[in-house]
Structure 1
Amino acid sequence: MSTLLDGALPPAQTPHLFGHAAAERFLAESYSSGKGHHAILIEGPEGIGKATLAFRFAYHVLTHPEPAEAPAMLSDPDPQSLVYRQIVSGASHNLLHLTRPLDEKTGREKSAITVEEVRRAGRFFSQTSGTGNWRIVIVDPADDLNRNAANALLKILEEPPRRALFLVLTHAPGKLLPTIRSRCLPLALRPLSPTHLAEALGALGVALPAARANEVLTAAKGSVAEALKLVNHGGLDILEAFGAILSKTDTAARKEMHRLADVLSAKDSGTIFDFFTALVETHVQDAARQAARAGEGARADRLASLSTALTEKLATAEAYNLDRKQTILSLIDAIRAER
């Protein structure tokens, strides 16, 4: 149960998918051929529609359980159909959505998909065996599996039950166990084009700020999730503040740094804090690549080392629940030192 961004719909309820017609056609045709793979690894950046595609394909399979009778293209789900209502309500006996569970004590999502969650898949298959129906598991995303959970999933993938389908989502396939990747058919999705991104936002009723529409579409890099963070969660203001801080002298920047850190460390600021940390990491990585292309080898090496150090600092801060404001200030200081 991932945190839903302001303006977004849960993937299971999203009526339309933009920009991935080729992937939809591939899934539909491979299924109708009767030779489809039992595990599909749907790859691509976060927020471009991977989960929506997975639920659309699950709806397609459960609506047309006999492959030979299924159409060769996915269609928008019928909100009045029993299959759709069961999927949306989480009451389908043939679909299991594995994601990070809630911590009963804190009410917040756990930091990983645990082995207990993957074991639910084993019970799911045993309870529905003998019905003859398809059984579909969506792992959303596999990047969140801890080591034990990943190994547990691997065991199921190695000996899949009959008429079982795994839709495994990943933002970073290179971080998955090679053995999991080797047992899945990869299906890579590309970021949305500006046109498709604008269409997707329009379908959600999200109005782009007229004066900054192009800025949003560019900065979002083809991701609906990033666009929503920019428009509805203050991301545009964070971008502007970060750029201003990097352009000012130490004395002039210090007050702006504290103001930004206060915003990012406020209560219930998790979404925008994550947006900022991703912004920081991307900024340093881009600077390292630019230095390398310019033949500035020493600076490129320093920036690459800084990127690794920042990632480790963020992981340590999260693991030990360190003061978020001080973490932000130290990140900015480290970046400013390498300008």
Structure 2
Amino acid sequence: MSEFDPQEAATWAPRHNTALFGHEVAEKALLEAWASGRLPHAWMITGPRGVGKSTLAFRFARFLLKHGPASAADEGPSLFGDAPVLPTSLTVSEEDPVFSRVANAGHADLIAVERSWDDKADRFRGDIVVQDIRAVIDRFGKTAAEGGYRVCIVDAADDMNINAANALLKILEEPPANAVLLLVSHAPGSLLPTIRSRCRRLALKPLDEAAMQPTLDRLLPDLDAAERRGLGVLAEGSPGRAVVLASQGGLKLLHGLLDIVGQLPKSDMTKLHAFGDVLARDRSGAGFQLMAELFRWWLARMVRAAAAGRIGGSGWAEIFPGETALAQRLSQWQAPARWAEDWEQLGRLLDRGESVNLDRKQMLLNLFAALGRSAAAR
């Protein structure tokens, strides 16, 4: 498989990202709201993780900082000439000074609120705290440095603790003129109803295949086309998730796991022990957690497709060669309902092993022993 270069990740960060695919409807809604001259002061951009919410927020922020209020948007031709030509896109060129200042966190009228660094604990805080929101209040209490908009991006609003949320609510209740808040939220239902009610909601959906592939072509150019296609399926329409999986070797990990599953009901113990040794050497446990997550995801994918009778058919995209044949063979072992029961039992097995800090290689062996019993009983 091709190599993933994590050093390129900075160029994909929302501050630096120059393109956004698959969310033309959302971009049009933002552009039309701006052009109307009655731009809502607060937006909540929602959707699954990694679909481009933060990228869209920074894209709109750059646009607002460059163009300012559309004061003449609804004015027709006058005695002094035709109405000004309004932008038809949120795009701000990489060569534009606004783009570079936003990318380098150097624009005086933009504040991005994220979980801050805790010097005492030497790590990022688990929440966005009230001090972070007070910095927004202070910035919004001053005149815009460049006479246009002041923009705040909260990424993610779900990370605010209750004190921070209440402080933000005060801004939403009494917004200053020409100030725009862009709240990124993965789970808007967890936010205060009073915050949700004061924001215009803009929901982003997972990308379809037509939008996902050009996005991954741009984000992961060093991977071959087959790997990008596989990651697109694995990430379920989330470019950010695809990038994370590429950095973690998720595609290779799942391929190795399913290669062993394909030997059932008789396990290839040499491969199984070698795979377990790789997971055991990772003391952080991240590799095992990813393996468990991907396996549970794949098994659920297989069961859903089997129940609908569409493995290999319409709506089914192969992650890597041989995956479809494996899914078809496993689906013939037992009815989808029995597989659903096994999915729950295997999940409990993995969770129980993690809760008692069981040796990860032993957990893998236990997992395959349970799968072997299912295969033998078919």
State the TM-score, normalized to the length of structure 1. Answer: 0.77
State the match for 1:19 in structure 2.
Answer: 22
State the TM-score, normalized to the length of structure 2. Answer: 0.70
Q: Which moved more, 1:276-285 or 1:110-119?
A: 276-285
Stretches of structure 1 that go unaligned for 5 or more consecutive residues are none
| 1:110-153 C-alpha deviation (Å, 9 max, x unpaired) | 33222222222112212447985321110111222233323332
Match of 1:65 among 46, 63, 68: 68
State the match for 1:42 in structure 2.
Answer: 45
Match of 2:31 among 28, 31, 37: 28
Report sequence identity in percent.
Answer: 33
State the match for 2:92 in structure 1.
Answer: 77
CA distance in 1 between partners of 2:261 and 2:348 (Å): 20
CA distance in 2 between partners of 1:331 and 1:159 (Å): 55
Q: Which moved more, 1:142-151 or 1:83-92?
A: 142-151
State the match for 1:112 in structure 2.
Answer: 127
CA distance in 2 between partners of 1:309 and 1:125 (Å): 51
Q: Is the 8 A contact 1:34 1:68 kept in 2?
A: yes
Q: More helix per residue: 1 or 2?
A: 1
Q: How does 1:1-339 map to 2 (within 5 A)?
A: 6-8=7-9, 9-69=12-72, 71=86, 73-105=88-120, 107-128=122-143, 133-204=148-219, 206-244=221-259, 248=264, 252=269, 255=273, 258-262=276-280, 265-266=282-283, 275-276=290-291, 278-279=293-294, 282-283=297-298, 326=359, 337=370
In structure 2, do the counterparts of structure 1 residues 251 and 211 end up closer, same or farther at CA, with 3 Å as the change threshold? closer
State the one-letter code of the partner of 1:61: L
State the match for 2:78 in structure 1.
Answer: none
CA distance in 1 between partners of 2:222 and 2:337 (Å): 43
Stretches of structure 2 that go unaligned for 5 or more consecutive residues are 74-85, 310-334
Q: Secondary structure at the match of 2:118?
A: coil
Q: Secondary structure at the match of 1:93?
A: coil
| 1:156-191 C-alpha deviation (Å, 9 max, x unpaired) | 222222222111112222333333222211111122
Q: Is the 8 A contact 1:50 1:169 kept in 2?
A: yes
| 1:172-212 C-alpha deviation (Å, 9 max, x unpaired) | 22333333222211111122222322222333462332444
When Rg is computed on C-alpha atoms for both structures, the one with the higher figure is 2
Q: CA deviation at 1:296?
A: 7.3
In the comparison of the two structures, how many residue pairs are matched? Answer: 326
CA distance in 2 between partners of 1:298 and 1:259 (Å): 31
State the one-letter code of the partner of 1:262: A
Which runs of structure 1 show a deviation greater than 6 angstroms over 4 or more consecutive aligned residues? 287-299, 304-314
State the one-letter code of the partner of 1:188: A
Q: Is the 8 A contact 1:5 1:225 kept in 2?
A: no
| 1:28-79 C-alpha deviation (Å, 9 max, x unpaired) | 1111112222111111222222111111111111111122346353342123
CA distance in 1 between partners of 2:349 and 2:141 (Å): 45
CA distance in 1 between partners of 2:351 and 2:110 (Å): 35
RMSD: 3.9
Q: Is the 8 A contact 1:39 1:167 kept in 2?
A: yes
